[in-house]
Amino acid sequence: MEDLMNKKRLGIASAAIAAAVAISGFVAPAQAAGSNLVIWTDSDRAKGLKEASAAWAAKNGVTLTVVVKDFGKVRDEMITAGPKGLGPDILIAPHDWVGGLAASGALERVSLTNRSAFPRTALDGFTYRGILYGIPYNVENIALVYNTKLVSSAPKTLAEMESTWATLKAAGTAKVGIDVQTGNPYMNTPLFTALGGYVFGGKANHPNPRNVGLYSAKFAKNASKIDKWFASGFLNKNSDWTYTNFYAGKAPYAIMGPWNLEDLHKSGMASSYAIAGVPGGYPWIGANGFMVSKYAPNKFLAKSYIANVVTDVTFQYTLYKSTLKMPALLAAAAKVDNQDLLAMSAYRDSSGAMPMWNIPQMASVWTDWGNAWQTVADGKSTAAAAFKLAAANVKKLVS
């Protein structure tokens, strides 16, 4: 599930540039010697990374080798390839990989002299058991997008959203209330938390996996609302990533992430939408960043890059222009004038959102949590029974 979430995220160096920038699928141990710095990333980030790093590489005589990896496989490969001398110096990955990678011994701790230059929540995401293992370069979250031709202003309560949907439905104006992928717990998190649910208890980067909140006392009292939502069409029983109803003007609301903005603009709704938050709920905060391999052939150079390049305003702003993800570095974020990203960030900052837990136990949550949403949508179970079962299953997995 987390791979699914995250897939939603120097052109060619001239001969005059001293740094040779290459893309390949495999790096032999011999290549990782001298002044060569090997970075593993996915295809979405490769071009921007090369552009943002070119000046530093040229100035320092570093051959920067960017290796494009399959996002779904690179985590396991990081763990297995490093000890064999086949791994990278640096991995670019989501913060919720940190716990598993650190617990496996694949990551090197890093230091940051100016923590106030980054949002605390972004650094929390790269902290595991009190140790910082990465430097974030972007932050992201989902938010509520509403059709301004159907809704006059941002909703203040879930009851208001339900009432608006009921009125539009009765008038034959809308087919569904919220267009959000059915069965996807990440995308439904703002609704889930608004009803009192949570995954693990704890604060900041100190989760308590013994406290499973998929069927918390507060959520148990509100679970029947999910049954009502699917029965009425407030939540669609078979929505996917295409947002067909919302783009067609047949849904007043949608829950989207920054990775959806390009399609949103192409949909023809450029002048008829606004971004707010799901009332009463909070989304996860996601962060991507740079982590140093415990087995890095050029560990000193990797840490120098982390300290001097990744924390640079121009570097992070260049990556922003390439990926259209909000920079983590506050000074770079201050330069962003994309109103959609700013609106999404405003929801994140005002909702009490937390970084998605990065502990290894988080991997045990997604299947059962997602199944609970899907079985209710399919009419195979009540929400109370489905989420109670999910909570019981997760407790067994993490015990």
Higher pLDDT, 18 or 193: 193
Residue 11, pLDDT above cutoff 80: no
Q: Which residues touch 262 (CB under 8 Å, ≥6 apart)?
A: 324
Q: Tell me what the mean pLDDT of segment 258-274 comes to.
A: 92
Q: Which residues touch 383 (CB under 8 Å, ≥6 apart)?
A: 223, 224, 225, 226, 227, 372, 376
Q: Tell me what the mean pLDDT of segment 158-167 comes to.
A: 97
What is the pLDDT, as a whole number, of residue 34? 53
Q: Tell me what the mean pLDDT of segment 298-325 comes to.
A: 94
Q: Which residues touch 356 (CB under 8 Å, ≥6 apart)?
A: 2, 95, 96, 125, 284, 285, 286, 362
Per-residue pLDDT band at 32 (split at 50, 70, 90): very low
SS3 129: coil
Interior angle at CA 260, CA 254 and CA 264, nearest 5: 75
Residue 29, pLDDT above cutoff 60: no
Interior angle at CA 319, CA 317 and CA 6, nearest 5: 130
CA atoms within 13 A on the CB side of 284: 26
Per residue in 248-259, pLDDT (tens digit) is 999 999 999 999
Question: Which range in 9-23, 211-225, 347-361 is most confidently predicted, on average pLDDT?
Answer: 211-225
Residue 290, pLDDT above cutoff 50: yes
Per residue in 337-383, pLDDT (tens digit) is 999 999 999 999 999 899 999 999 999 999 999 999 999 999 999 99
In this structure, of 12-21, 27-36, 278-287, 359-368, the range with the lowest mean pLDDT score is 12-21
* Secondary structure element (H or E) that encloses residue 291, with its range: strand 284-293
Query: For residue 193, what are its two tokens?
Result: 């938390």
CA atoms within 13 A on the CB side of 128: 28
Do the strands 63-68 and 36-41 form a parallel or antiparallel pair, or are they unpaired?
parallel
Residue 117, pLDDT above cutoff 60: yes
Taking the whole predicted model, whether its pTM rises above 0.85 is answered as yes
> Cα separations (Å) of 371 from 96, 182, 193?
21, 10, 17
Higher pLDDT, 52 or 205: 52
CA distance 192 to 283: 9
- Taken in order 325, 326, 329, 334, the sign of the CA dihedral is positive
What is the pLDDT, as a whole number, of residue 270? 80
Q: Tell me what the mean pLDDT of segment 103-120 comes to.
A: 96
| Cβ-defined contacts of 377-383 (< 8 Å, 24+) | 377/182, 377/183, 377/230, 377/235, 377/237, 377/238, 378/237, 379/230, 379/237, 382/223, 382/224, 382/227, 383/223, 383/224, 383/225, 383/226, 383/227
Tell how far CA 52 is from the center of its chain.
22
**pLDDT above 70 coverage of the chain, percent:** 91
Phi-psi region for residue 323, left (φ > 0), alpha (ψ -120 to 50) or beta?
Answer: alpha
Helix ranges (DSSP H) in 203-260? 217-222, 224-232, 244-247
Exposed, middle or buried by CB within 10 Å (0-12, 13-18, 19+), for 139?
A: buried
What is the pLDDT, as a whole number, of residue 124? 95
